[in-house]
Amino acid sequence: MAKKSIIKVNHHMKQSLLIKSAFFKYDIIWKMVMPFLRLNKRLADGYDQRIGKNEELQKADIWIQAASAGEAYLVEEIINRFEPGETLSILLTSGTRQGVDILSRSANSLPEGKNIACRVSFFPFDSPSIMEKAVKTINPKVMVLLESEMWPGHLSALKKYGCKTVVINGRMTEKSLKKYLIWKSFWNSIKPDLICAISEEDTERFGKLFGSKMVKVMPNIKFDRFGKKETAGNIPDTVDNILGKDSSFIVLGSVREAEEAFIEKIILDIFKRKPETIIGLFPRHMNRIPDWRKALTSMNIRWVLKSNMSKPAEKGSVILWDTFGELLNAYRYADAAFLGGSLAPLGGQNFLETLNCGIVPVTGPFWDNFSWIGQGIAEEGLLRIADDWHGVSDALFEIMENPISRKKVISRAGNYMKSRQGGAAFACRIIENLLQ
């Protein structure tokens, strides 16, 4: 027994030294790359806040981190439902400009007498030395991480200063789980105190990493947001002006590289069936724009870059969207819409915002990242699932030819979502319990 205990202690010491060494190297890497990160336009925005030179990083009872815009909207639901007896100070952070803008708007629109004082900032870079200073300064009683925003430097600092950490609306893909499991002991050394996941599948994945006792299921807060008009931040709505009158408009949204060959076939098929259609093509990643320019040209398709448009698009052409943040605006004018990442095994895209715009979305067979919405969504006629690109093209054409009124789609979708709401109230109860 004594020998086994000694072996166990030695193993623990080796793991501890290995983890300390990893954090030391991790911090050095951050210090080396940070000057170059300032050259990135997106990361240069709020750079001083990201490196910890930030007046907003003051003492707070609760710190809520939202990775980007989607998670920022969830924060709005949570803080609007808080009813604290005493004044709560809350720090809201995000890694993107759009996320910060949404958080700022939510903080500024809180009614008087809410007993909540909010500050908003960019999320600091995960350099352990920067994060330790930030966590020590903020010293939150509760840290709330939205969905799956887990950074090692951040979690380590929270653990060091005894902050209670909870993941709300947690989700984890099989792909992410495999990466975490490469060094399971490392992540368990800095793991959150509680994880509230949005489905049984996500709960099981988190359980494989951290243990099932610390994971529970909750309603997805995204259901709570249905029926509320999302905004594209400060981005103006120019879609109506570039479509002209009486145009049939199809959106191919968030298209990924692995499915581009299929998308080319869909474009050709749609134009064959309905030559006067205008197609809005939204690559998921902007670095694919040059490749799409070449592909559309070789296909003899008329196309125009959205950024170059000064007059309405010609019928029978593709608008290649090279401007950021306008997909939501495009959905509001679309006659039909396909959501990418679903014709290849990439997990799909969230289609609730499409329904919120009154459009029944079309997806390929690979939408497992959003299975939490439930198969019933398709049974209710609120989602068209196609087996391949042929099926996608057929569904888009059928929806254009036999449109359902936007009001009817929104009403039916609202009824579906209603029984699945309550995530924000659930989150508030969890956070309040941790505060106590």
Give the 3-state secondary structure of residue 274: coil
Per-residue pLDDT at 235? 64
**Ramachandran class of 124: left when φ > 0, alpha when ψ lies in -120 to 50, beta otherwise:** beta
Residues 244 and 365 in one domain: yes
Residue 6 has pLDDT above 90, yes or no: no
**Strand ranges (DSSP E) for 142-277?**
142-146, 164-170, 194-197, 215-217, 249-255
Per-residue pLDDT at 334? 96
Mean local confidence (pLDDT), 328-355 = 95
Query: Residues 399, 397, 231, 426: is their CA dihedral positive or negative?
Result: positive
Residues 261 and 319 in one domain: yes
Domain with residue 407: its CATH number is 3.40.50.2000
Per-residue pLDDT at 231? 55
Residues 263 and 143 in one domain: no
How high is the mean pLDDT of the chain? Answer: 93
Edge-to-edge strand list for the sheet holding 336-339:
303-305, 318-320, 278-283, 249-255, 336-339, 361-363, 384-385
| Domain containing residue 215 | 41-226+423-435
Is residue 6 in some structural domain?
Answer: no
Q: Tell me, what amino acid is at 51?
A: I
Residues 216 and 290 in one domain: no
pLDDT top residue among 11 and 20: 20
Q: Specify which residues 336 forms β-bridges with.
A: 250
Q: Specify which residues 361 forms β-bridges with.
A: 337
Confidence at 16, pLDDT banded by 50, 70, 90: confident
Residue 59 has pLDDT above 80, yes or no: yes
Per-residue pLDDT at 413? 96
Per-residue pLDDT at 5? 60
233, 102 contact by CB (below 8 A): yes
Residue 55 has pLDDT above 90, yes or no: no
Based on the structure, what is the number of domains in the chain?
Answer: 2
Mean local confidence (pLDDT), 86-94 = 94
Per-residue pLDDT at 56? 75
Residues 51 and 97 in one domain: yes
Q: What percent of the chain has pLDDT over 90?
A: 82
pLDDT tens for each residue of 266-318 = 999 999 999 999 999 999 999 999 999 999 999 999 999 999 998 999 999 99
Q: What is the token pair recorded at 18?
A: 């290995």
Domain with residue 220: its CATH number is 3.40.50.11720
Is residue 24 in some structural domain?
Answer: no
Per-residue pLDDT at 46? 95
Q: Which helix (H) or strand (E) holds 60?
A: none
Q: How far apart are CA 189 and CA 22, in angstroms?
A: 13
Is residue 17 in some structural domain?
Answer: no
Residues 203 and 313 in one domain: no
Per-residue pLDDT at 229? 67
How many CA atoms within 13 Å lie on the side-chain side of 177? 17
Q: What percent of the chain has pLDDT over 70?
A: 95
Buried b vs exposed e over 405-421: b needs ≥16 C-beta within 10 Å?
eeeebbebbeebbeebb
Give the 3-state secondary structure of residue 216: strand
Is residue 25 in some structural domain?
Answer: no
Residues 267 and 164 in one domain: no
CA angle 62, 65, 69 (to 5 degrees): 135
pLDDT tens for each residue of 216-270 = 999 999 999 998 766 555 567 788 889 977 889 999 999 999 999 999 999 999 9
Is residue 4 in some structural domain?
Answer: no
pLDDT tens for each residue of 192-217 = 999 999 999 999 999 999 999 999 99
Residue 120 has pLDDT above 90, yes or no: yes
Confidence at 21, pLDDT banded by 50, 70, 90: very high
Residues 150 and 75 in one domain: yes
Confidence at 119, pLDDT banded by 50, 70, 90: very high
Per-residue pLDDT at 377? 95
Residues 175 and 246 in one domain: no
Residues 385 and 402 in one domain: yes
Q: How far apart are CA 388 and CA 175, in angstroms?
A: 23
- Number of residues in the chain: 436
Residue 14 has pLDDT above 90, yes or no: no
Per-residue pLDDT at 48? 94
Specify burial of residue 243 (Cβ count, 10 A radius: 0-12, 13-18, 19+): buried
Residues 67 and 198 in one domain: yes
Q: Specify which residues 362 forms β-bridges with.
A: 338, 384
Is residue 218 in some structural domain?
Answer: yes
Q: Tell me, what amino acid is at 232?
A: A
Residue 131 has pLDDT above 60, yes or no: yes
Confidence at 431, pLDDT banded by 50, 70, 90: very high
Residues 205 and 266 in one domain: no
Is residue 7 in some structural domain?
Answer: no
Per-residue pLDDT at 2? 58
Is residue 109 in some structural domain?
Answer: yes
Q: How far apart are CA 82 and CA 65, in angstroms?
A: 16
